[in-house]
A = this chain, B = another copy of it.
Amino acid sequence: MPTTPNPLRRNEASRRAILDAALRLCAENGYGRLTIEAIAAGAGVSKKTIYRWWPSKGAVVLDAVDDLASTVADHPYTGDLAADLRTQMAAVIALLTPASTSAVVGLIAEALHDDALGDDLRERLVRPRIDAFNRRMHQAQRDGQLAADADLDVAVDLVYGPLYHRLVFHLGMPNAEQLHTLVAHALRAFVPAPQDNDANAPPTS
């Protein structure tokens, strides 16, 4: 008696309908009003089918977001580190806005109560993007845009932290100008010294 169902017999149509319904209903009514019952009804699927394959509402949404987000929010590489970061961060901000109907924000909220979901969220959604960020930063270091001896371990926190600080305390997502300022200041921790005050300004070209 297998405790986990046989994935070979899984109905792909049901799976897709469930993930689609989850995202759609989340966008329509907000993550807070999203329920397993509504997902089942919206997908034309029985609750049992959802519980067979996912342990919780959060896990469903995580799968749905994972599908969705695998291509968005990649790190571009134009050579201008600050600009590239701003581009990528703008995509992240789009995923978090508006908070009330953002599936990602819903996942974040639920993960704060649910360690298992939090771990999944970190490993499946966040970790790959942190790795990508780090690769981009090391590339910039090799390019000479960052100090050769910069401690990049804290970079991700300094660069992305402000977004989540503002998110959790309803301080408003930064607009383009504020984003510019934030990135500039964050990168200042890693640029070669001595430097002038405008080292991270966008190229004037």
- B158-A108 in contact (CB<8A): no
| Interface residue SS majority, chain A | helix
Q: State how many copies of this chain the complex holds.
A: 4
Task: Place the interface of chain A in its size category.
Answer: 35 or more
* B contact residues around A122 at 8 Å (CB): 169-171
Residue A32 lies at the interface, judged by CB distance under 8 Å to chain B: yes
CA distance A188 to B178 in the complex (A): 19
- A32-B113 in contact (CB<8A): yes
A182 CB contact (under 8 Å) in B100, B154, B160:
B154
Smallest CB separation, A16 vs chain B (Å): 24
- B197-A194 in contact (CB<8A): no
Closest to A153 in B: B181
* B contact residues around A37 at 8 Å (CB): none
- B164-A168 in contact (CB<8A): yes
- A169-B112 in contact (CB<8A): no
Residue A67 lies at the interface, judged by CB distance under 8 Å to chain B: no
Closest to A149 in B: B197
Smallest CB separation, A181 vs chain B (Å): 6
Smallest CB separation, A113 vs chain B (Å): 4
Residues 168 to 199 of chain A near chain B (Cβ within 8 Å): 168-171, 178, 181-182, 185-186, 188-190, 193-197
A197 CB contact (under 8 Å) in B32, B193, B196:
B193
* B contact residues around A100 at 8 Å (CB): 113, 115
Closest to A157 in B: B162
CA distance A154 to B188 in the complex (A): 13
Residue A99 lies at the interface, judged by CB distance under 8 Å to chain B: yes
Pairs A-B, 8 closest by C-beta atoms: A161-B161, A157-B162, A194-B194, A32-B113, A118-B170, A161-B165, A185-B189, A109-B112
8 contacts between A and B (CB under 8 A): A99-B112, A108-B168, A151-B181, A158-B185, A161-B165, A164-B169, A168-B168, A193-B195
